[in-house]
């Protein structure tokens, strides 16, 4: 007898640098389940919390294998700013069971940033691409989309939150239905996936496909678009499979977006026009100062509404263009003959009339 299959395809359509991006908050915070309020449980949870924060900041699970971070985890409490206990609201006293207990840990950014610089580890800036989630499940009746309140979708969202990745669910409305159906997702129809995702401003996607029956869960994830990556996975259960697949996908997503903290910086020149007044100038400089990759900015020349800036960054200078591509107030300008020789050109959108 053929065992019943539970097949989920999770499409995480990853926003390119030119599409949606969002500044992720709470990168230095973690929520960890604890068995009780004892000192041993608290210290263990603080270590787990710091490990989660370090993975979110570096964009890589492999970072935890660095000897320097291993030592830091042994003294995790030194990086702690504050902690508190919370209980899940989903299980209350009416059920006759004890609500799950969690430790909410907040860590101090400055010492962690210093640690990453000293160890020359990668840093994934807080301005990150949004991920659009398509989920499909299949059985003998055929494939169907999974709604956002179903268990696989909840598990996927939780896995993304642990990695500090912003996400969005599709509308599953008539427009989606006309562009993409569950069998097309199951068949990994890349053309249809790209067309359906276009309305959300995205151009990358990840298909997670697996079966769940009796015993281990196996399947394959495939990242397509500007980034190409894929792998087969097998885990003991659905939760572990989704966690492992999302982790692998996020590692691939983050890798080209990171820079090495503490790496000797490089400089490049930016030409920014439509800077008409002091408010525009202040807004532009404030924006550049908030970018984690930027370590210094100098105004070299002012010509009416055009600025020539020299910007120093950590790591490779070309990373700045990728980071700026996610900023809605700056638009890359490329002339017919190519980039201006004086520097990379942008147009500033600071006023309501732009």
- The predicted pLDDT at position 190 comes to 85
Tell me which residue of 178, 185, 174, 183 sits closest to 132, measured CA to CA.
185
Rounded to whole angstroms, the Cα distance separating 213 from 350 reads 55
CA distance 166 to 344: 29
Sort 180 into a burial class: Cβ within 10 Å, 0-12 / 13-18 / 19+.
buried
Give the C-alpha separation, 14 to 228, whole Å: 12
What pLDDT, on the 0 to 100 scale, is given for residue 163? Answer: 97
* Least confident piece of the model among 12-16, 21-25, 206-210, 297-301: 12-16
Higher pLDDT, residue 228 or 19: 228
DSSP 3-state helix, strand, coil percentages of the chain (rounded to 5)? 35, 30, 35
36 pLDDT higher than 70: yes
Contact indicator for 98, 65 with CB cutoff of 8 Å: no
Report the DSSP beta bridge partners of residue 94.
none
Q: How far apart are CA 5 and CA 62, in angstroms?
A: 33
323: exposed, middle or buried (Cβ count in 10 Å: 0-12, 13-18, 19+): buried
Give the pLDDT band (50/70/90) at residue 137.
confident
Q: Is residue 213 a contact partner of residue 5, using CB atoms and an 8 Å limit?
A: yes
How does the average pLDDT of the chain come out, rounded?
84
Q: How far apart are CA 349 and CA 284, in angstroms?
A: 9
Contact 266, 312 (CB under 8 A): yes
Confidence of residue 22 (pLDDT cuts 50, 70, 90): confident
Q: Given the structure tokens 């490049």, which residue do they identify?
A: 268
pLDDT of 141 reads 80
Interatomic CA distance for residues 30 and 287, integer angstroms: 27
Per-residue pLDDT tens over the stretch 286-303: 888 888 788 888 888 888
Per-residue pLDDT at 96 exceeds 60: no
CATH (residue range 264-348): 3.30.70
Q: What is the pLDDT of residue 8?
A: 59
Asked whether the beta carbons of 272 and 306 are under 8 A apart, the reply is yes
What mean pLDDT do residues 264-284 have? 85
More confident site: 349 or 140: 349
What pLDDT score was predicted for residue 55? 98
- pLDDT tens per residue, range 100-117: 999 999 999 999 999 998
Burial classification of residue 67, based on how many CB atoms lie within 10 Å of its CB (0-12 exposed, 13-18 middle, 19 or more buried): exposed
Does residue 91 register a pLDDT over 70? no
Q: What is the CA radius of gyration of the chain?
A: 23
Arithmetic mean of pLDDT, 60-80:
95
DSSP annotation of 228 reads -
Instruction: Assess whether pLDDT exceeds 80 at residue 335.
Output: no
Per the CB < 8 A criterion, the answer to whether 132 and 12 are in contact is: yes
Query: How much is the average pLDDT of 230-244?
Result: 92
What pLDDT sits at residue 351?
A: 62
* Percent of the residues in the chain that have a pLDDT greater than 90, as a whole number: 39
pLDDT of residue 101: 95
Residue 232, number of CB atoms within 10 A of its CB: 10
- Give residue limits of the domains in the chain: 6-21+127-257, 29-123, 264-348
Residue 218, pLDDT > 90, answer no
pLDDT for 342: 61
Number of CB atoms found within 10 A of residue 109's CB: 14
- Containing H/E element for 135? strand 131-139
pLDDT at 32 (0 to 100): 97
Q: What is this structure's pTM?
A: 0.76
Nearest to 121 by CA among 49, 65, 42: 65
pLDDT in tens, 143-194: 889 888 988 889 999 999 999 999 989 999 999 999 999 999 888 888 898 8
75-84: average pLDDT: 96
Confidence of residue 128 (pLDDT cuts 50, 70, 90): confident
């Amino acid at each position: 007898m053929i065992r019943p299959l539970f097949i989920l395809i999770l499409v995480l359509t990853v926003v390119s640098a030119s599409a949606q991006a969002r500044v992720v908050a709470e990168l230095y915070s973690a929520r960890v389940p604890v068995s009780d309020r004892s000192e041993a449980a608290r210290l263990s949870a603080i270590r787990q919390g710091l490990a989660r924060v370090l993975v979110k900041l570096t964009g890589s699970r492999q970072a935890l294998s660095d000897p320097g971070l291993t030592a830091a985890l042994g003294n995790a409490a030194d990086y702690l700013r504050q902690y508190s206990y919370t209980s899940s609201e989903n299980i209350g006293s009416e059920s006759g069971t004890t609500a799950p207990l969690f430790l909410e840990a907040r860590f101090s950014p400055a010492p962690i940033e210093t640690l990453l610089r000293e160890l020359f580890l990668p840093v994934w800036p807080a301005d990150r691409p949004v991920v659009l989630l398509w989920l499909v499940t299949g059985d003998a009746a055929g494939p169907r989309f999974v709604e956002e309140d179903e268990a696989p979708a909840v598990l996927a969202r939780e896995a993304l939150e642990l990695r500090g990745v912003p996400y969005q669910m599709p509308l599953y409305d008539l427009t989606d239905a006309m562009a993409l159906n569950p069998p097309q997702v199951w068949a990994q129809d890349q053309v249809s996936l790209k067309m359906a995702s276009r309305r959300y401003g995205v151009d990358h996607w990840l298909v997670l496909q697996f079966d769940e029956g009796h015993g281990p869960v196996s399947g394959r994830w495939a990242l397509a678009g500007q980034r190409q990556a894929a792998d087969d996975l097998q885990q003991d259960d659905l939760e572990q499979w989704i966690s492992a697949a999302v982790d692998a996908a996020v590692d691939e997503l983050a890798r080209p977006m990171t820079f090495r903290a503490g790496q000797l910086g490089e400089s490049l020149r930016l030409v920014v026009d439509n800077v008409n007044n002091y408010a525009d100038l202040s807004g532009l400089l404030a924006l550049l100062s908030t970018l984690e990759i930027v370590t210094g900015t100098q105004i070299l020349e002012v010509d009416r509404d055009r600025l020539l800036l020299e910007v120093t960054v950590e790591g490779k200078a070309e990373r700045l263009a990728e980071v700026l591509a996610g900023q809605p107030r700056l638009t890359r300008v490329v002339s017919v003959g190519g980039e201006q020789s004086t520097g990379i050109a942008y147009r500033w959108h600071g006023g309501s009339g732009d």
